[in-house]
Amino acid sequence: MRAGRIRTAGKTEVSRSRSDAVGAGVSLNSGSVLQAERQIVQNVEQDAGVAILNGQSRARAFEAQGRGAMLNGALGALSGLSTAADKWKRTQSSAIGNVPLGGGGGYIPMAGE
């Protein structure tokens, strides 16, 4: 989009240059006019190319930022899931006579005791 605006401005500059040359009585086919036009076009295309490269660079930066946000979101979800599972385990151990799950060292009565 920016490259397009640069090119449009370049076309305007070439037209202005031609108009100035005609106003000064110089032939549009003269070497100096053609050389000036070539220089304008070259500068415009260089600026447009830089704008395109900058846009691509910014796009890659936004993509990387998006991937980082997705990863952080996934890690946050896993953390929340882990916390919820831990709380669930604690509520289950409370329901089974306060015996902690996972070998917490609590006393488990044997049959017949």
For 44-56, what is the HEC assignment?
Answer: HHHHHHHHHHHHH
pLDDT above 70 for 97: no
Give the model's confidence band at 89: pLDDT under 50 very low, under 70 low, under 90 confident, else very high.
confident
Residues 6+ apart with CB under 8 A from 100: 93, 106
Two structure tokens written together for 113: 């005791």
The pTM of this model reads 0.55
What's the pLDDT tens digit per position in 54-75? 999 999 999 999 999 999 999 9
Determine if residue 66 is left, alpha or beta; phi over 0 gives left, psi from -120 to 50 gives alpha, anything else beta.
alpha
